[in-house]
Amino acid sequence: MGLTEPDPTDEVLRALAEPRRRTILRLVAHDEMSAGEIAATFEVSRTAISQHVTVLKNAGLLTERRAGTRRLYRARPEGLAGIRAFLDEMWAGALDTARRLAEAERGLSDDVDAERTG
């Protein structure tokens, strides 16, 4: 057990931090597509796309189904749950802080106004 436990959030974000991989995800968000069909969409080699698909699969963002010699892929929305939670927490927390600060600043300029009018 010398392996450091990999953070699932980290793997998902690294997988998403690549334009082509996001494009692949969008391609298979609704319709199931074969590896060849996906690769045909791009202008890079089929090998490159296969590697991207592997990354997405390992990150839990894709499901694979075999049909004959073909492999059909589809987006797996649950794979996004982790970073959605991360973002929501960050968003809510920071936004709440921002609101609190806005209030404080408003209070401050009220004081200034009072000083000016006083």
Nearest Cα neighbor of 73 from 88, 63, 59, 87 is 63
Q: What is the pattern of x (binds its own copies, CB under 8 A) and - over residues 4-33?
A: ---x--x--xx-xx-x--x--xx--xxx--
What does 27 bind: DNA, its own copies, none (CB cut-off 5 to 8 Å by kind)?
none
Neighbouring-strand partners of residue 85: none
Instruction: Considering the complex, state which of residue 18 and residue 113 has its C-beta at the smaller distance from DNA.
Output: 18
Cα distances (Å, whole numbers) of residue 67 to 9, 64, 72: 31, 10, 7
Tokens of residue 118, six digits:
């006083």
Which 1-60 positions form the footprint of DNA (CB under 7 A)?
14, 17-18, 20, 34-37, 44-48, 50-55
Instruction: Considering the complex, state which of residue 40 and residue 90 has its C-beta at the smaller distance from its own copies.
Output: 90
Q: Does 107 bind DNA (CB under 7 A)?
A: no
Are 28 and 73 in contact, with CB atoms under 8 Å apart?
yes
